[in-house]
Amino acid sequence: MPQTILIVGGTEGIGFEVAKAIRTQPDALKTNRVIFGLVEPVKIERSATYFIGDVTNSEVRERAVRYCIDKFGGIDTLVYSAGVITPIERIENLDMEAVKRTFDVNVFGAMAMVQLCLPYLRESRISNPLNAAHGKIIILTSACDSAVTYHGWTPYCTTKAALTRFISCLAHEERLICIQGVYPKLTRTKMPKDVIAGKYEGVMADHEIERFKIWDEVGDEMVEPPEWCGEAVAKLALGLFEGGKSGETLYYDEHVPKKITGT
């Protein structure tokens, strides 16, 4: 039976690249990709199914999961890549309603989608014990959870800290399935473009903005194309790589190394 992969946040950024990369992998014809996102993607792929809606809305979340069950009979793999970085603002000027929205997308959306998908993921794992992709949750988080801090990024950093901790707590409770956190590296998305363009001058420190500009000049070595992380996550989602232990959050190229050592 084809593997059903639900990709939340799959219409933009790294999530969109995950959805595209799955199509190019050897087992792509054996998968059903349901791409759940807020906006219509730039390029509609006929081989994927799109569910457009807001992950912060409980009724929309339930409909997205029900759609997978009714159309494909279950959910084998959940990829959560939905996320927002805004508001970028000093704490004294923060709009708390905007901060709540960040938590709704980055943390509560992930928790709620996991909660809805758990029964089907457990069932998939029991039915496919030798396939590393079945009964798997992959959550994209950020090294801003603890190791990286910029002025104005408090909402983003605190949501990612909560999300990374959720990954480890979930794995502790759900021993049957596999939960993996993935750190992208600095990726060429709208966020660094806005920083480089000076959108956050007066909020971020001058030296922080200058650092982004220098990294941008260096090129892909410092600001990576989203396809790199997207391809690695696609391979995890398809079971082509086992990845790290359940509950671990690693950089994507640690989960899916270019060179495999040992036997």
Interval 131-190: pLDDT, tens: 999 999 999 999 999 988 899 999 999 999 999 999 999 999 999 999 999 999 988 887
Same structural domain, 92 and 192: no
- Cα separation of 81 and 90, whole Å? 26
% the chain with pLDDT above 70: 92
Identify the pLDDT of residue 1. 78
Residue 263 in any domain: the answer is no
Same structural domain, 134 and 205: no
pLDDT tens for 89-99 read: 999 999 999 99
Q: What is the CATH number of the domain that holds 80?
A: 3.40.50.720
Q: Determine the residue type at 120.
A: Y
Same structural domain, 97 and 193: no
Q: What is the pTM of this model?
A: 0.93
Same structural domain, 96 and 206: no
- Cα separation of 179 and 146, whole Å? 20
Same structural domain, 87 and 130: yes
Same structural domain, 216 and 230: no
Same structural domain, 124 and 194: no
Q: How many domains does the chain have?
A: 2
Complete DSSP assignment for 178-246: EEEEEE--SBSSHHHHHHHTTTTBTTB-HHHHHHHHHHHHH-TTTSB-HHHHHHHHHHHHHTSS--S-T
Q: How large is the average pLDDT for residues 60-81?
A: 94
The alpha carbon dihedral of 160, 107, 243, 186 has a sign of negative
pLDDT tens for 19-52 read: 889 888 765 556 777 887 766 555 555 567 888 8
- Cα separation of 133 and 240, whole Å? 8
Same structural domain, 112 and 210: no
Complete DSSP assignment for 100-122: HHHHIIIIIHHHHHHHHHHHHHH
Residue 219 in any domain: the answer is yes
Q: What phi and psi values does residue 87 have, to the nearest 5 degrees?
A: -80, 140
Domain containing 215: what range? Answer: 188-223
The yes-or-no verdict on residue 263 having pLDDT over 60 is: no
Same structural domain, 159 and 85: yes
